[in-house]
Amino acid sequence: MRRLYVIGIGAGDPRQVTVQAIEAIGRVDTFFVIGKGEVKRELTEVRAALLAEYADPGHRVVEIADPPRERTVDSAGGYRDVVADWHRRRAELLGRAFDDTDGVGAILVWGDPSLYDSTLRMVERVLEAGTRFDYTVIPGVTSAQSLAAAHRIVLHEIGEPVHITTGRRLREEGVAAGESTLVMLDGECSFTQLTGADLHIWWGAYLGMPDETLIEGPLLAVRDSIVRRRDELRAAKGWIMDIYLLRRS
Ligand SMILES: C[S@@+](CC[C@H](N)C(=O)[O-])C[C@H]1O[C@@H](n2cnc3c(N)ncnc32)[C@H](O)[C@@H]1O
């Protein structure tokens, strides 16, 4: 393989796919799908619909199964080691798949590859391990942008910073004064552990998808309805993706 595209496809709404992404998809011979076992049915369908509409009819899809990931970790250092080991094993599988492929390859990435996605780190590892190819990154609309647009908000106060973090880090660090905090990858409703009466939350699930759900308000007033709604949605669909912004008023 001589060229690889890493293509951001937006965070759920197929109309978020950019013209640049569509042009790249049309040039690809082989699409690599990583970790299909963990990808939920709707997400797989979004990708399949994109390929049906924009890819060359002769394209191939190569699925690369995810190596199993150790889930029990007792510290932040342990967590990083586990993730690094998982990335290394994923990169080995990817390198072998690249070596076996001619022409132009692509990996489609949910949202944008720059935000909580390991694809670019894996691609760098494959290059370091000796497989030779050029690669190009095509940006996509992130779930952070989708959340801001759905709630019609700016992510930060005028001239102030925005902090992007995970549910796990929010539980450890809370929300700093003077900072807006955007939380992703939170399977545990970590906002319920915050007590500040001055906190406001803008929450969104399945953004850009038919089941998009939004709740916004003072944290202490709306947190129980978010937890309840989240449980109902997850029970009905079998999976959920949500993201939220917290800010002190
Ligand atoms: C592995 S990260 C991938 C983020 C992605 N690269 C992006 O640019 O948005 C997955 C997290 O993104 C957020 N997310 C992605 N798509 C979403 C959507 N359509 N609605 C709500 N949250 C979403 C959730 O917090 C989810 O846990």
With a 6 A CB cut-off, is 184 part of the ligand 1 pocket?
yes
Domain span(s) for CATH 3.40.1010.10 in the chain: 3-138
With a 6 A CB cut-off, is 119 part of the ligand 1 pocket?
no
Binned at pLDDT 50, 70 and 90, residue 77 comes out as: low
Write the pLDDT tens digit of every residue in 149-173.
999 999 999 999 999 999 999 999 9
How is domain 143-248 classified at the architecture level of CATH?
2-Layer Sandwich (3.30)
Q: Half-sphere exposure (CA, 13 Å, Cβ side) for 166? A: 8
Q: Half-sphere exposure (CA, 13 Å, Cβ side) for 197? A: 0
Mean pLDDT, rounded, for 197-207: 96
> 241 C-alpha vs ligand 1 centroid, how far in Å?
6
What per-residue confidence (pLDDT) applies to 206?
Answer: 96
What per-residue confidence (pLDDT) applies to 222?
Answer: 98
23-37, 46-60, 75-89, 164-178: least confidently modelled range: 75-89
Write the pLDDT tens digit of every residue in 18-34.
999 999 999 999 999 87
What per-residue confidence (pLDDT) applies to 5?
Answer: 97
95 vs 74: CA distance, rounded Å = 31
Query: What are the phi and psi torsion angles at 117 (to 5°)?
Result: -145, 135
What per-residue confidence (pLDDT) applies to 44?
Answer: 81
> 127 C-alpha vs ligand 1 centroid, how far in Å?
27
Domain span(s) for CATH 3.30.950.10 in the chain: 143-248
45 vs 50: CA distance, rounded Å = 9
> 126 C-alpha vs ligand 1 centroid, how far in Å?
25
With a 6 A CB cut-off, is 204 part of the ligand 1 pocket?
yes
With a 6 A CB cut-off, is 208 part of the ligand 1 pocket?
yes
Class of domain 3-138: alpha beta
pTM here is 0.91
